[in-house]
């Protein structure tokens, strides 16, 4: 998965999308929730159509609903499900905003803000906090 993510970050979205879609098909809609969440999260970022991006972000949120801290900590001991929520809800807020569904965007932005306490004070949390501020500004205009 990391190779496909790096392809996407390098601007090779087509090959990255193909590799992650193949991985999604192997994991399956009922597969491991950690893998489903991660693959859907990264696939969302590779979509050209905001409606497709929304669909993948919704899949990531659906997967996280069945994810446990115990499962995450088998991957890395510091991970907790609640730490995923700010990013997932921020992504959904942005998707809904781009699609003109402003009530849904505000709802997910509020949920992102409410879940910020799950994050440590580090570069990642500052990136998410900045994204929330920018999303709030975009919704205010």
Q: Where are the domains of the chain?
A: 1-68, 80-141
Cβ atoms of 72 and 38 closer than 8 Å: no
3-state helix, strand, coil in the chain (%, to 5): 80, 0, 20
Could you give the angle at the alpha carbon of 127 between the alpha carbons of 107 and 53, nearest 5°?
Answer: 55
Consecutive H or E run containing 26: helix 13-27
Per-residue pLDDT, averaged over 6-13, amounts to 92
CATH number for the region 80-141 comes to 1.20.58
Check whether 46 has a pLDDT greater than 90: yes
How many other C-beta atoms are found inside a 10 Å radius of the C-beta of residue 74?
11
What is the average pLDDT across 62-73? 94
In which band, very low, low, confident or very high, does the pLDDT at 141 lie, cut at 50, 70 and 90?
confident
The first and second tokens of residue 56, run together, are 């993948």
pLDDT, one tens digit per residue, over 87-107 is 999 999 999 999 999 999 999
Stated pTM of the model: 0.92
For residue 59, the tally of other CB atoms under 10 A from its CB is 19
pLDDT in tens, 111-137: 999 999 999 999 999 999 999 999 999
Q: Which residues 6+ apart lie within 8 Å of 129 measured at CB? A: 116
Output the six-digit token pair for 42.
Answer: 């990264």
What sign results for the dihedral spanned by CA atoms 57, 74, 79, 18? negative
105 to each of 38, 71, 94, 112, how far by Cα in Å? 22, 30, 7, 10
Indicate whether 29 pLDDT > 90. Answer: no
pLDDT at 78: 86
Q: Which band of pLDDT confidence, cut at 50, 70 and 90, is reported for residue 77?
A: confident
């Amino acid at each position: 998965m990391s190779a496909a993510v790096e392809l996407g970050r390098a601007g090779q979205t087509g090959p990255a999308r193909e590799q992650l879609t193949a991985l999604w098909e192997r994991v399956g809609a009922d597969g491991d929730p950690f893998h489903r969440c991660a693959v859907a999260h990264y696939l969302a970022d590779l979509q050209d159509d905001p409606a497709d991006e929304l669909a993948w972000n919704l899949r990531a949120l659906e997967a996280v609903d069945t994810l446990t801290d115990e499962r995450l900590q088998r991957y890395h001991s510091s991970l907790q499900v609640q730490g995923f929520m700010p990013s997932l809800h921020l992504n959904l807020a942005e998707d809904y905003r781009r699609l003109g569904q402003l009530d849904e965007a505000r709802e997910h932005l509020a949920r992102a803000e409410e879940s910020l306490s799950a994050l440590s004070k580090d570069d990642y949390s500052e990136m998410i906090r900045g994204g929330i501020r920018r999303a709030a500004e975009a919704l205010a205009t």
